[in-house]
Structure 1
Amino acid sequence: MQAVIQKSTVADGVVIEVSTTFFPAAIQPGTNGRAPDTILFSSDAVFFYCHRSSVLSRSTNSFGNLISLAQELTNSSELSSNSSSGGTRSNLPTFALSEVSSVINLMLHIVYGLSSQRFAPDLDTIELSLRALEKYGIPAPDEAAEIWTVLLHHAQTQPLRAYAIAAGHAMEAICVRISPYTLKHSLTGVTEGDALTMGPLYLRRLFFLHLGRKDALKRVIEKPPAAHRPLSTCSPEDAMQIVQAWEVAVANIIVLPMPQCVSEDELRNIFATVVRRRRMCLECLASVRARVSTVIADWEAIKKTI
């Protein structure tokens, strides 16, 4: 993620990469204007300048016991104290992390409560950042945090993966909001990794949603239109043809690739075959239309979330 870094020239013309948000002269919220006092160094060699108090105040394990145990990467005499980006301030304690810069960037944005939307983090970055937070003893952000809004955006195109990430952190409200998006996708798309991330509870709820809606659809559509009183213009054979046509329409709906998310328009189009190219009396026609309207209303009322 190139937007994360900027080039900075230090002593002897050496060029290093520094975060565009967490650089030496940056003023971060909640710090009373204090300058950074700690450097985090990513596995892809990017420097992040942060505040030890901001990091440790959120951590329950001294930032994975790293800040108290890790050794500084550089000696303060090795780097110049100034650079074109506002000074490298190399006399600060520096700690090497195993995460790449895009992950550390998102993690620190969460710690400081900053917006990360301009970086457009993908699902891999979001998932790895949440894992990093857990690793360093920092609780996952609450459900109102921006990261979940970004995750919901990804859910429109990758709902199963997004659901797994939210479920892995027991974000109930987020899982509920994502779950309708999953209905357009087969559960065969749930990878072993996603299943492990979700855990048994959220995995079971996802399967119950999909299978439950399929069963509910069968109950909603199986009953044929009501028969009317005998008429000289409409024989029992005519009425039986309508029932048979309804059963064919029901079968065509059940075998749809994704019956759990069949739309109102799809239902109307399929049930239209009951009356299409078929002579029927006005009472039969009214009965079919009334039954289709009931089906649409009942299907719309079926729960779409876990």
Structure 2
Amino acid sequence: MYSQRPTQPGSMLQQGSTAFPTPPASTAGSPQELEQAPLISVSTYFHPTANIIPYVDPDVVLASSDSVYFYVHRQKLLHRSSNNFANLLPSSSTSQTDLQPYVHNRSAPPPPLSSPPLRGSEHPNSPHQHHTSPSSRQPNPRPATPQTLLVVPERSDVLNILLLAIYNVSAERYAPSLDTLSLVPQAMIRYGYNPPELINPNTEITRLILHHVRADALRVYVLAGLYNLESLAVSASRHVRSVATITDEQALMMGSIYLRRIMQLHVNRIAALKSILFVKPDGHRPGQPPCDGTDQRVQRAWALATAYLAWEARPDMPSVEIAKSLAPLLDHNRISAVLNAWAHVKDTI
């Protein structure tokens, strides 16, 4: 998520009393001097030479509460924000000039800038990297782009996922926890974004959250209800095993509408399962003449088995458990009919 780079003495970006150290130029100082320079933490994705938007240099630097720097683009931050990124960025009518990409050569794009090398102890998928001397990097052919430094209250892990959601880039390699993901929608609201617009079936952050649905479906459902994330709530509702474990706090967070919907889903599924089970079988097997005694024994055994299943009925009762209880009583075709009917009962809100 962030890397640590040596800074160049005297290379600072000023905003009021806030001083921001920038990575050194490729010709600045000897390797020994750079090794002794202080390190700053810079995002491994949103770094100065990332070229996220081709030929458009980042013009905003975000500093997280734990002092990790993210190089981003004003146009991206303002695109869907209803409050100018928490009123930190002006809605500039003059930004059209700022947003024009710098073209080093109109017949060919500027030469690529090599990524800073990693020390051997760091893995490429690590959330942070420690960079060695950048003396091997090519000189940057672009003119310096004016950059605005904004200090924000989010931790770097939350800010990283927020920015990746704004850019709609996969964050799977960072493997964010559900704790981190749960803080992102509130950060979206703070900066003027509508969570349902950024968290929907077509976005990468939704897939990240769904990675946690099997392990903690109820918590994902509560998160979806809290921010009215309908598609996420529908997906999570399939995996919520019980409404009996919902706490008062969770009920308040998801709200009355989503609470009623998940409870109604479970009530409906249990009722549907009982309805399927209470349809009595014919008693005799196909190809054999009916026998009253056999019919009565099968009916009694069926009544006992279905009474047990009905008593133990759960909205997520697996088909294998139903089949195991009915196997001594019915042939394969009839068991399959019961299981097929159960499989077609609606399992989402």
Tell me which of 45, 50, 55 is aligned to 2:72.
Answer: 50
1:263 paired with 2:287, answer no
| 1:63 alignment partner in structure 2 | 85
In 1, the alpha carbon distance for the partners of 2:289 and 2:59 equals: 94
Q: Residue 232 and residue 46 in structure 1: after superposition, are their counterparts in 2 closer, same or farther (change >3 A)?
A: closer
Give 3-state SS (helix, strand or coil) of 1:240's partner.
helix
Q: Residue 90 and residue 220 in structure 1: after superposition, are their counterparts in 2 closer, same or farther (change >3 A)?
A: same
Q: Residue 124 and residue 193 in structure 1: after superposition, are their counterparts in 2 closer, same or farther (change >3 A)?
A: farther
Post-superposition Cα deviations, 1:104-150, rounded to whole Å, max 9, x if no partner, equal: 11111122232212112222222211221111102231430111122
In 2, the alpha carbon distance for the partners of 1:131 and 1:6 equals: 26
- TM-score (normalizing by structure 2): 0.68
| 1:22 alignment partner in structure 2 | 46
1:152 paired with 2:210, answer yes
Q: Residue 19 and residue 227 in structure 1: after superposition, are their counterparts in 2 closer, same or farther (change >3 A)?
A: closer
| 1:173 alignment partner in structure 2 | 231
**Structure 1 residue 291 displacement after superposition:** 5.0
Could you tell me which amino acid in structure 1 is paired with residue 58 of structure 2? P
1:37 paired with 2:59, answer yes
What pairs up with 1:1-306 in 2 under 5 angstroms? 4-11=1-8, 13-29=37-53, 33-67=55-89, 92-140=147-195, 141=198, 142-182=200-240, 185-226=241-282, 234-236=291-293, 238-256=294-312, 259-274=314-329, 292-306=335-349
CA contact 2:171–2:208 (8 Å) conserved in 1: no
CA contact 1:37–1:49 (8 Å) conserved in 2: yes
In 2, the alpha carbon distance for the partners of 1:148 and 1:58 equals: 18
Could you tell me which amino acid in structure 2 is paired with residue 265 of structure 1? V
Structure 1: unaligned runs, 5 residues or longer: 69-82, 275-284
Could you tell me which amino acid in structure 2 is paired with residue 60 of structure 1? S
Give 3-state SS (helix, strand or coil) of 1:259's partner.
coil
CA contact 2:62–2:72 (8 Å) conserved in 1: yes
Q: Residue 192 and residue 92 in structure 1: after superposition, are their counterparts in 2 closer, same or farther (change >3 A)?
A: farther
Give 3-state SS (helix, strand or coil) of 2:4's partner.
strand
In 2, the alpha carbon distance for the partners of 1:160 and 1:65 equals: 35
- TM-score (normalizing by structure 1): 0.76
Q: Residue 10 and residue 233 in structure 1: after superposition, are their counterparts in 2 closer, same or farther (change >3 A)?
A: closer
CA contact 1:61–1:137 (8 Å) conserved in 2: yes
CA contact 2:48–2:58 (8 Å) conserved in 1: yes
CA contact 1:41–1:94 (8 Å) conserved in 2: yes
In 2, the alpha carbon distance for the partners of 1:233 and 1:105 equals: 70
- Calculate the aligned-residue CA RMSD, in Å: 3.0
CA contact 2:265–2:348 (8 Å) conserved in 1: yes
Could you tell me which amino acid in structure 1 is paired with residue 45 of structure 2? T
CA contact 2:59–2:146 (8 Å) conserved in 1: no
CA contact 2:63–2:149 (8 Å) conserved in 1: yes
Q: Residue 146 and residue 118 in structure 1: after superposition, are their counterparts in 2 closer, same or farther (change >3 A)?
A: same
Q: Residue 294 and residue 170 in structure 1: after superposition, are their counterparts in 2 closer, same or farther (change >3 A)?
A: same
**Structure 1 residue 51 displacement after superposition:** 1.8
Structure 2: unaligned runs, 5 residues or longer: 10-36, 91-131
**Structure 1 residue 199 displacement after superposition:** 2.3
In 1, the alpha carbon distance for the partners of 2:335 and 2:228 equals: 39
Could you tell me which amino acid in structure 1 is paired with residue 231 of structure 2? A
Q: Residue 41 and residue 90 in structure 1: after superposition, are their counterparts in 2 closer, same or farther (change >3 A)?
A: farther
Post-superposition Cα deviations, 1:170-222, rounded to whole Å, max 9, x if no partner, equal: 3333332332222xx22233344443342222221111111110111111102
CA contact 1:6–1:17 (8 Å) conserved in 2: yes
| 1:75 alignment partner in structure 2 | none
Give 3-state SS (helix, strand or coil) of 2:260's partner.
helix
CA contact 1:143–1:171 (8 Å) conserved in 2: no
**Structure 1 residue 232 displacement after superposition:** 11
**Structure 1 residue 58 displacement after superposition:** 2.1
In 2, the alpha carbon distance for the partners of 1:190 and 1:295 equals: 31
**Structure 1 residue 37 displacement after superposition:** 1.8
CA contact 1:264–1:296 (8 Å) conserved in 2: yes
Q: Identity over aligned residues, as a percent?
A: 33
Q: Which runs of 4+ in 1 moved over 6 A?
A: none
